[in-house]
Amino acid sequence: MLIKTIPVGQLETNCYVVTDEKSLDCAVIDPGDESNTILDYLEEHKLRCRAVFLTHGHYDHVGAVEAVAEETGATVYMNRLDDAEERRDPHFPFHLPAEGEYYGDGDSIEIASLRFEVIGTPGHTPGGVSLRCGEALFTGDTLFRGSCGRTDLVGGDMEEELRSLRRLCSLEGDYEVYPGHMDSSTLARERLFNYYCRAAMNL
């Protein structure tokens, strides 16, 4: 598995391209902006994008979804609770197209040899999810290195956020954590040093 991080947009949202190196099939996670940058990477490395996964529906994570999906033919996946028709708020501008699919806690999607497991992690948004693939954990804006997602926007809920952090921190073993913004980390590090994770584990 090859993971490429592409920071995009004014908020430097981390878009991830996760590739099965044998087949060159891949998934794109949170294409928030700069579709040309993302598509150029796919073309340069001769990758076939099979899926676009959204960790949540905020504008800075969905800005390039339509362009990437249209160009590649990939299926778009998101949680229904963050769909624009559910939220009706400018922070949630994206509505899943008819050919897309809603997903939620417990679902799994296979891309070649890669298996993406959906973990419901609401709090930052009602439909927030994290994606587990092998030893990688893509946490969107639920868990950051040393912090967590804000909950003061429409649909945010700090109690839900803490429950989601507790759930992530309770996963067995260690994972590489790939958040929606800023640097990557490990789950072991966050369990030890992240104030919010420590508070969540004490609930």
Paired residues of 102 in beta bridges: 78
**Mean per-residue pLDDT of the chain:** 97
Q: Which amino acid, 57?
A: G
Closest CA to 61 of 181, 145, 151: 181
Model confidence at 92: pLDDT above 90: yes
- Are the C-beta atoms of residues 32 and 8 closer than 8 Å to each other? yes
Q: Which helix (H) or strand (E) covers residue 31, if one does? A: none
Q: Which domain holds residue 11?
A: 2-201
Q: Give the CATH number for residue 65.
A: 3.60.15.10
Phi, psi of 149 (to 5 degrees): -70, 150
The lowest-confidence range among 35-39, 80-84, 88-92, 182-186 is 88-92
Token reading at 123: 């709090």
Model confidence at 28: pLDDT above 90: yes
Q: Which amino acid, 44?
A: E
CB neighbour burial string for 39-71, b if at least 16 within 10 angstroms, e if fewer: bebbeeeebbbbbbbbbbbbbbbbbbbebbbeb
| Model confidence pLDDT, tens digit, residues 123-174 | 999 999 999 999 999 999 999 999 999 999 989 999 999 999 999 999 999 9
Model confidence at 88: pLDDT above 90: no
The lowest-confidence range among 22-26, 30-34, 95-99 is 95-99
Q: Report pLDDT for 18.
A: 98
Q: Report pLDDT for 36.
A: 98
**Mean pLDDT in residue range 73-84:** 97
Q: Report pLDDT for 122.
A: 98
Q: Report pLDDT for 41.
A: 98
Q: Report pLDDT for 183.
A: 97
Token reading at 25: 């099939």
Model confidence at 20: pLDDT above 90: yes
How distant, in Å, are the alpha carbons of 33, 45, 158, 181 from that of 38?
9, 11, 33, 16
Residues ≥6 apart with Cβ < 8 Å to 176: 135, 136, 137, 184, 185, 186
- With cut-offs at 50, 70 and 90, classify the pLDDT of residue 179: very high
| Model confidence pLDDT, tens digit, residues 39-58 | 999 999 999 999 999 999 99
State percent of the chain over pLDDT 90. Answer: 96
**Helix 35-44 vs helix 65-72: crossing angle, to nearest 10:** 30
How many domains does one find in the chain? 1
Q: Report pLDDT for 203.
A: 80
Location of structure tokens 């429950």: 163
Grouping H, G, I as helix, E, B as strand and the rest as coil, residue 129 is strand
Q: Report pLDDT for 113.
A: 97
**What's the rounded Cα separation, in Å, for the pair 115 and 186?**
20
Model confidence at 94: pLDDT above 90: yes
